[in-house]
Structure 1
């Protein structure tokens, strides 16, 4: 027993030393998770007692009050997801009960006709985290139903899931549109195919990822926000933007979805094409970041350096990079990714980006829909979700755990 304990001590000492050497060890994940929990407690005091719109979405620049949404909004899954992560990080049963209640409000989404592709954001972030942490069979039923609902948007003639089954400007409705955000929703399909759902769900997810890989990226591996396809022939009509600066610009959060999505696709499939591509879309992003590694909302906005930042993109990428660092074979590259993730998290955890006493969110300075003038330089719920996810992943690595292992 003494020998085993000595080995463990040496192992975890080596992990901590290595972590400090490459940067992420300088972030106190435990204290940062506690900060998030304290901010959640503040938000709980703002929640409406009843009503249709009672899910936090954003706090506009200079304000302190959350803007609330209904369960049908694409951002509805991030709040229950945050509560599940808070339970995971603190072991406080209060957060578990709140997460269960908040998740159950989203159940109708799994049963209704799909209104758009966002079921992964909505259901996997809520029920998916709940099932992972509790094994509740009721949650599993909702997840499987939601995956089947999402799959109804798949067009086999194109090979991707339809993102918006309705008229959206510049998308040439009724042609088939796919946005880069949809890469995140594939995780629900992968999970379902391995947990009692149809094996066809796996094939749909792989097809979507491969067709997107082929058509959604420019020669330099920067991503279009949206691609429009002929719904009958599957031919690509055009690549455009909806939320970025221009059709040919690198919208920061869109590139972040690509980094996160292809990293996840490799984890789920073991297909090295996805691992190689995840590194390509990551490297072009990292090469163009400002010094603090928090991007401007669009890398091609001519107003830089006076353009708004997007902390949400940094949160998404920091979480993705921690996972990517565990998957790449090249040790030097793995260390670089992990070091960059640590620096991103340190920036987000600084007074420049934390909300602190300014409001009850975790982070400031995210940008939602700049062309529309919506949620610019705001606190946004998905930034908080991925920031807390990154902290939990960081804590595992600091403890020498795998990302799929339960926190002690």
Structure 2
């Protein structure tokens, strides 16, 4: 089934005028094999914890896990599914099933917007690769739960319930973060599966308001937009994890590229394709982007005209931390984006491949058995929070594996 699906994708891309890159089978295979080995070692440690989901490392470099209610819980089972898809290793499949099904209770979870990350990265891949009807039903219920966070007045899905602003003077009011674009895929899935357009309409309305209120004229983006629930008007444009309210947080830009690319895939609305393309241009053409295309954590850290969002950091904020997670998300997004643009997609395809090669170098890819068995090094969670700075992160590994699988499909290589 997997090979048939990939063959159809490949032939469809050719029909659209897409010219595949030269097969890079050895590169893909060697990095998939490495990821498979790391995941199996990580799985051994994770199985001892049973209900704790791998996320990062502690200050001693040891595995740090979370309960299932953290936004990152779906990435570990999702990574196992991607590794299984790439290798046909049934041991990985069994582990993916086990760790996915630990999350079944989340289908009724309504406390924050990250249900798409938690359930679509796990159950979405599980259903795609197994066709298990139970998984489909769980995904639909998850979409129902996520939809409860939509407010027709704001036209947006609320991200956090309560979150303190950095100056200590108040609280974010109905915050919507750029990350939320990633959760819309779950809603699109539910409408396709059930025939009920309610979910799809919510997703489109949310994306339209992100485009209107969160994407800047230069196609960078704000991290947080706060809305007045009585009028639907924008109250403020801020950041939580970036350097300054008016700066461009690298992973936020990556979420935007990926989210609008996915939204175009599901709607074929060219507004979203244009937005994804121009957000990708901002990333790839940015003067602050290093030559290997692995971005620093914020494109504007310490630049003139950007006031730090957290006063204690001021000029002490380190600039030179790369964010491999932002790069991995971007690589995966660029590879999909390129497939919608025919020959005009070459820039994005080449950019995604270049990022993948950089991430696969010793500068970012761990040595076997090191890095607490995560695949990639040098990611950043949140410098303003003083957490997860220059560490491995499970979602960096997830999107790295997704990018490898997408590269294989685009190049016509077989596994």
Is it true that 1:364 corresponds to 2:377 in the alignment?
A: yes
Equivalent-residue separation in structure 2 for 1:190 and 1:48 (angstroms):
33
Match of 2:347 in 1: 336
Tell me by how many angstroms 1:388 deviates.
0.3
Match of 2:268 in 1: 270
Tell me by how many angstroms 1:269 deviates.
0.2
Match of 2:222 in 1: 224
* Residues 99-137 of structure 1, C-alpha deviations (whole Å, 9 max, x = no match): 11101111111123x010000000000000000000001
Equivalent-residue separation in structure 2 for 1:203 and 1:18 (angstroms):
34
* Residues 235-277 of structure 1, C-alpha deviations (whole Å, 9 max, x = no match): 0111100000000101000000000000000000000110111
Match of 1:206 in 2: 204
Q: CA RMSD in A?
A: 2.3
Is it true that 1:109 corresponds to 2:94 in the alignment?
A: no
Equivalent-residue separation in structure 2 for 1:389 and 1:257 (angstroms):
14
1:375 partner SS = strand
| Matched-pair contact (CA < 8 Å) for 2:172–2:226 | no
Relative distance call for 1:18 and 1:197 in structure 2 (3 A) is closer
Correspondences of 1:128-139 after superposition (within 5 Å): 128-139=124-135
| Matched-pair contact (CA < 8 Å) for 2:25–2:408 | no
1:397 partner SS = helix
Match of 1:346 in 2: 357
Equivalent-residue separation in structure 2 for 1:172 and 1:132 (angstroms):
43
Equivalent residue in structure 2 for 1:71, among 51, 55, 68: 68
| Matched-pair contact (CA < 8 Å) for 1:227–1:238 | yes
Aligned pair count reads 382
Equivalent residue in structure 2 for 1:192, among 190, 200, 203: 190
In structure 1, list runs of 5 or more residues that go unmatched: 1-10, 401-406
Equivalent-residue separation in structure 2 for 1:212 and 1:153 (angstroms):
16
Equivalent residue in structure 1 for 2:144, among 139, 142, 148: 148
| Matched-pair contact (CA < 8 Å) for 1:46–1:65 | no
Equivalent-residue separation in structure 2 for 1:26 and 1:300 (angstroms):
37
Match of 1:242 in 2: 240
Relative distance call for 1:253 and 1:306 in structure 2 (3 A) is closer
Equivalent-residue separation in structure 2 for 1:19 and 1:274 (angstroms):
25
Equivalent residue in structure 2 for 1:19, among 18, 21, 25: 21
**TM-score between the two structures when normalised by the length of structure 1:** 0.89
* Residues 68-90 of structure 1, C-alpha deviations (whole Å, 9 max, x = no match): 11111100000000011111011
Relative distance call for 1:83 and 1:51 in structure 2 (3 A) is closer
| Matched-pair contact (CA < 8 Å) for 1:144–1:197 | no
Equivalent-residue separation in structure 2 for 1:131 and 1:307 (angstroms):
40
In structure 2, list runs of 5 or more residues that go unmatched: 1-10, 303-314
| Matched-pair contact (CA < 8 Å) for 1:183–1:262 | yes
Equivalent-residue separation in structure 1 for 2:27 and 2:47 (angstroms):
33
Relative distance call for 1:291 and 1:327 in structure 2 (3 A) is same
Equivalent-residue separation in structure 2 for 1:18 and 1:201 (angstroms):
34
Match of 1:4 in 2: none
Correspondences of 1:304-315 after superposition (within 5 Å): 307-315=320-328
Tell me by how many angstroms 1:172 deviates.
5.5
Equivalent-residue separation in structure 2 for 1:173 and 1:59 (angstroms):
30
Is it true that 1:301 corresponds to 2:301 in the alignment?
A: yes
Equivalent-residue separation in structure 2 for 1:391 and 1:27 (angstroms):
12
1:383 partner SS = helix
2:272 partner SS = helix
Is it true that 1:397 corresponds to 2:410 in the alignment?
A: yes
Equivalent-residue separation in structure 2 for 1:172 and 1:276 (angstroms):
36
Tell me by how many angstroms 1:166 deviates.
2.3
Match of 2:81 in 1: 84
Runs of 4+ displaced beyond 4 Å: 170-174, 303-306
* Residues 130-164 of structure 1, C-alpha deviations (whole Å, 9 max, x = no match): 00000001101110000000000000001010001
**TM-score between the two structures when normalised by the length of structure 2:** 0.87
Match of 2:277 in 1: 279
Equivalent-residue separation in structure 2 for 1:31 and 1:174 (angstroms):
46
Equivalent-residue separation in structure 2 for 1:309 and 1:347 (angstroms):
12
Tell me by how many angstroms 1:173 deviates.
4.6
| Matched-pair contact (CA < 8 Å) for 1:159–1:234 | yes
